[in-house]
Amino acid sequence: MRVLMICKACVVGTYQRKLEAMAQDASLDLTVLVPSAWRDPSGVQPLERAYTRGYALKVVPMRLNGNFHLHWYPTLGQIVRAVRPDLIHIDEEPYNLAAWQALWHAKRVGAKALFFSWQNILRRYPPPFSLGEAWLLRRADGAIAGTQGAADVLRAKGCRLPIAVIPQFGVDPELFKPAANQPEPPIFGFFGRLVPEKGADLLLQAAARLKGAGYTFRVRIVGQGAERPKLEQLAESLGLREQVTFLGQVPSTHMPRLYADLTALVVPSRTLPNWKEQFGRVIVEAMACGVPVIGAHSGAIPDVIGESGLLFPENDVDALTAHMARLLTDAELRASLAQRGRARALARFTHAQIAAQTVAFYRTLLREL
């Protein structure tokens, strides 16, 4: 079966491991289209060619790069006609112009089409986005939802298509694996976009309280975004100059080592009217590295962590501080969470598992046995 995937997220090198895993299926002829980079408010992610065996990774021009709703691909029609896919995998939300464009071209060549959605808040969009979304929900052949919450939102919007609940990406347990030794002094990590909803400020406030209580530790913040100057000022005002390091954007292939160095990963996301945590990919990567995770009770975080981490109420700095203190003083708890997290990541969230589920859904839509 010939499948054409349109996926701007696959500019990230480690995500391409899923594509290699999919390509191991001998019946699949996979072509993946990516831009040369993806720009968004948190910065620019250039294409990383890291894992490209077994499938065709093609760089294509993109118009309005960085505009989540209105970006599109000027050469897509030409490529679709050349590839003549049986199925187009549109790795876009159903209210985006790129998704509508891809579906239109799929129908022109008689290909089936599916789309992907993380949207876990029931939101009503103004025209033309509401009209385009409704059209796509009627005309597509299937959908992949990253979580059950996203699937529930699609159903609430009237989607009657076959829906598979499959995370967009997983983790390679051979790349993301535990380190031989624990860091000294201990390191708490925050990996993600530096935007208000991700809650890095809560980690800094908790760190200040830990420092005031006499604990020795470090904080490592990896990521970029508009909030970085404010966060740096906050760290300074809290007296954390010696404890906190801002690393900015790091190539995805360097991330496994950064995770493995951590004592714990903190995911302090907070729900806003237009956003709540959709999955928390960093949780899975940290668990695969045997790193305990402290997460806010926000969106999908509790479902991803399960019984393998510590949860605290959103915006509750006292509870976050208490969890961090526990991990600094309780070696048995750290070891138990590390073991459970690694086991959970391997049981549920590997690239190989996600790839197999995705290809199986392709077959379902194409009615192949």
* Local structure of residue 249 (DSSP, 8 states): -
Q: Compute and round to an integer the Cα radius of gyration of the chain.
A: 21
Residue-wise pLDDT for 258-280, tens only, equals 999 999 999 999 999 888 898 88
Q: Is residue 136 predicted with pLDDT exceeding 90?
A: yes
- Model confidence at 180, pLDDT cuts 50, 70, 90, reads confident
Q: Which two tokens stand for residue 39?
A: 């720009």
Residue-wise pLDDT for 285-299, tens only, equals 999 999 999 999 999
Tell me which H or E stretch contains 245: strand 244-248
Residue-wise pLDDT for 100-127, tens only, equals 999 999 999 999 999 999 999 998 899 9
CA 300 vs CA 58, 63, 147, 277, 279: distances in Å:
32, 32, 8, 6, 5
Distance between first and last Cα of the chain: 12
CATH class, 187-348 region: alpha beta
For residues 163-184, average pLDDT? 90
| Residues facing residue 33 across a β-bridge | 6, 58
Answer yes or no: are the C-beta atoms of 3 and 86 closer than 8 Å. yes
Which amino acid is located at 291 in the chain? Answer: V
Q: Is the dihedral of CA 152, 313, 307, 208 positive or negative?
A: positive
Domain range list for the chain? 2-170+350-366, 187-348
Residue-wise pLDDT for 15-64, tens only, equals 999 999 999 999 999 999 999 999 987 788 999 999 999 999 999 999 99
CA distance 204 to 188: 10
Answer yes or no: are the C-beta atoms of 96 and 68 closer than 8 Å. yes
Residue 175 or residue 369, greater confidence: 175
Residue-wise pLDDT for 147-163, tens only, equals 999 999 999 999 999 99
Hey, do 2-170+350-366 and 187-348 end up sharing a CATH topology, with the first three levels equal? yes
CATH code, 2-170+350-366: 3.40.50.2000
Prediction pTM value = 0.89
Q: Is residue 339 predicted with pLDDT exceeding 50?
A: yes
